Amino acid sequence: MSATYDLVIIGGGASGISTALHVHAVAPHTKMIVLEAKRYPREKICAGGIGARAFRKLERIGVTVECPMVTLNAVALRIGGEMLVSREPRLGVVVRRVEFDHAFAKQAIARGIEVRDGCPVTAITIQDEQVRVETEGGDSFTARAIVGADGVGGIVRRATGFARGELRAQVVELDTEEHPGDQPRDTIVFDFTVRDLHGYAWDFPTIVGGKPLVCRGAYVIHNLGPDSPKARIEHYLAERGLPLSRYKLKQFAERGWQPGAPIARPRVLLVGEAAGIDIATGEGIAQAIEYGYVAGPYLARAVERGDFGFSDWTSHVHGRHLGWQLRVRHACYRAFFSERRDSLERMLPKMQSLFKLGVQDFAGRPLSKLAIVRGAGQYLAALARERMRE
């Protein structure tokens, strides 16, 4: 079979489905298909923490994703021997991706968007006026443009001439029973206690088959040096009296967004983890959804004008909240995993307002000017104290 579309979206995860829904919201007659390699419900190795800002974006186009979730009201950071907690009502949720992504794809299908699962793309050829996409089953598609929403190891980057990307993390996770030392079940914990770890360990409350468990994991930024995420989580669990051998360990990679790295070329647009997400924390679901929110109207305009050069996609992303957040998080990554870490660990407990701003941004709350001024003031005061120390 061979069929022709305006847009072929490759990958039916958070970014692919969000892009399809947002294109459909502004231009419902766009001829578009989402090709997903696996069959729903499909597993995606992920802790499933989603900042509520993603849902604020989806609400604007009338999309609600119904699946089991744990509601979050607090973020905790273990750092420099202290536990910093910031509370913000309904700041986000923890889901299981196998359930969330299926429910999300159903929202697209319910709106009449063509989503074909069990359809891995095996070859992509960019021609003068179109792109040809071939799939494992032998079906082929031609499109005026394609969207690479196929995640960290997808085919689109490889087949269309993008570099692999320098900012990479390896991540391991498993689900355990609760432990007496755990924070309340409405709190996600990021643990930066281990000083030589380029990353962190986490505890996220989760719900598996109706049972309350805790998803624990280790996020290890690999481009900063070789490391063993498995050894890291083993140590983390041992400290809690939990033997690694009792649990099923899952490992997967992540790709960070890199300032200046291309995320489009003529007739090919990258979104979500194919483009790159936050390297500092590895948070990528809300960003994947936000990529779709930004890409939707952008692609609809490209289809209407018949202009698929995509030369301004990078600057377009930069100009939006998504781009601002990616830049801020990248700056945090550079500062924190550097010789300034000692100093930042001392400063952080004195910058509770700045921490709260970060949590509010994660939650999608509007940031008040007063709060920004207060946060900046705390930062400058903490910095001045550090300078005096030196």
* Binding residues for ligand FAD (CB under 6 A): 10-16, 35-38, 42, 44-50, 120-121, 149-151, 154-155, 171, 173, 217, 252, 254, 272-274, 277, 282-286, 288
Q: What angle do CA 89, 174, 77 make, to 5 degrees?
A: 40
* Residue 168, C-beta contacts closer than 8 angstroms, at least 6 positions apart: 221, 222, 223, 253, 254, 255, 256
The Cα 337–Cα 330 span in angstroms is 11
The Cα 20–Cα 113 span in angstroms is 7
Which is nearer to ligand FAD, 65 or 351 (by Cβ)? 65
* Residue 96, C-beta contacts closer than 8 angstroms, at least 6 positions apart: 48, 67, 68, 206, 207, 208
Which is nearer to ligand FAD, 250 or 374 (by Cβ)? 250
Phi and psi of 218, rounded to 5°? Answer: -130, 130
Angle, helices 97-110/14-26, rounded to nearest 10 degrees: 20
Which is nearer to ligand FAD, 202 or 353 (by Cβ)? 202
CB 352 within 8 A of CB 84: yes
Instruction: Output the residue with the shortest Cβ distance to ligand FAD.
Output: 284
| Rounded least distance, CB 313 to ligand FAD, Å | 15
| Rounded least distance, CB 303 to ligand FAD, Å | 21
Which is nearer to ligand FAD, 215 or 357 (by Cβ)? 215
The Cα 164–Cα 259 span in angstroms is 14
Which is nearer to ligand FAD, 294 or 351 (by Cβ)? 294
| Rounded least distance, CB 383 to ligand FAD, Å | 30
Task: Give the largest Cα separation in the chain, rounded.
Answer: 71
The Cα 129–Cα 367 span in angstroms is 44
What does the DSSP assignment read for 260-312? T---EETTEEE-HHHH-B-TTT---HHHHHHHHHHHHHHHHHHHHHT----TT
| Rounded least distance, CB 119 to ligand FAD, Å | 6
| Rounded least distance, CB 43 to ligand FAD, Å | 9
Which is nearer to ligand FAD, 294 or 347 (by Cβ)? 294
CB 83 within 8 A of CB 103: no
Which is nearer to ligand FAD, 285 or 382 (by Cβ)? 285
| Rounded least distance, CB 217 to ligand FAD, Å | 6
Which is nearer to ligand FAD, 52 or 344 (by Cβ)? 52
